[in-house]
Amino acid sequence: MAKKNLIFVIKSNPFSWKVFEALRQAVGCSMEHKVTVIFVKDGIYTLTDWKPDLIGIEPIDKSIDALGMMDASIVVEEEALRERGVKLKEWSVKVEIKSKDEICDMIKESEVVITW
């Protein structure tokens, strides 16, 4: 099977199972396809230095590291960061900050878009 260009858009806040499941799915897909995970709107809180274990949620650090090992791209919406006034956590993998317009172009060029 030919590699597909997949994009996972995470727009939900990280305070439920959705982000954990989205990242698990993205890691699995990255074994066979070119994957980009884009964090927009409240999804950007996922990449801040919050403490998920304090509210009983599984930390996502291992998923982010696995995406980096699989050469997946991680992108954050610049405008969402600015609007919410948050700072990203220091990650062991490259996290790119891109504008809404750049993200729209990426989505237009993808073959599959999965939104969480």
Domains of the chain listed by start with CATH number: 5-115 (3.40.1260.10)
Confidence at residue 57, expressed as pLDDT on a 0 to 100 scale: 84
pLDDT band at 56 (very low <50, low <70, confident <90, very high): confident
Q: What is the pLDDT of residues 60-81, one digit of tens each?
A: 999 999 999 999 999 999 999 9
Average pLDDT over residues 31-40: 97
Where helices occur in 30-84 by DSSP H, the ranges are 61-69, 78-84
Mean confidence (pLDDT) of the chain: 95
Percentage of the chain beyond pLDDT 90 is 87
Distance CA 41, CA 81 (A): 8
- pTM for the model stands at 0.94
Contact between residue 47 and residue 39 where contact means Cβ atoms under 8 Å apart: yes
